[in-house]
Amino acid sequence: MGCFTWLILLALAILTMVSLIRWFEQITEAVDYGLWSKVMLLLAFPFSVWMFEPKVAAGRPSAFPRHEPVRGFGDVPTPPPKKKKRAGIDPEAIAKLKQKMKEQGMMEEKDEG
């Protein structure tokens, strides 16, 4: 047997397996819906499954995203700048703020401290 014969046998085996899978799908649907003429046709001639539309979607249900290649080798983006360290607390500014709050009545004398 030549190489071509083995390829034909392999193709027939694959066709038979796929037909069996489709046959089980179609015969189950036909029995569920009571389509007895379809059941008889599928039992008499199993390869007639190829005449009916499959109900199970084969393959990927949505399209592949379009691949866009990298565009150039520009500069690498720099990381965001780091936060600056806070300066020490200014005691004069705090004293001014406390005085202003006292003048506006927001803070009483005893709240100091």
What are the pLDDT digits (tens) for 23-38?
999 999 999 999 999 9
Give the count of domains, the chain. Answer: 1
37: in domain:
yes
Q: What is the pTM of this model?
A: 0.48
Q: How distant, in Å, are the alpha carbons of 21, 45, 53, 94 from that of 11?
A: 16, 20, 22, 87
d(CA 99, CA 7): 96
39 is a domain residue:
yes
Task: Look at residues 35, 32, 29, 33 and name the one whose alpha carbon lies nearest to residue 53.
Answer: 29
Domain membership of residue 106 (yes or no) is no
In a domain, 68, yes or no: no
Range of the domain at 30: 3-51
Residue 12 lies in a domain: yes
pLDDT at residue 8 is higher than 70: yes
Report if residue 28 sits inside a domain.
yes
Segment 78-106, tens digit of pLDDT: 777 777 767 778 889 889 999 998 888 88
Note whether residue 26 is domain-resident.
yes
Instruction: Name the average pLDDT for the chain.
Output: 83
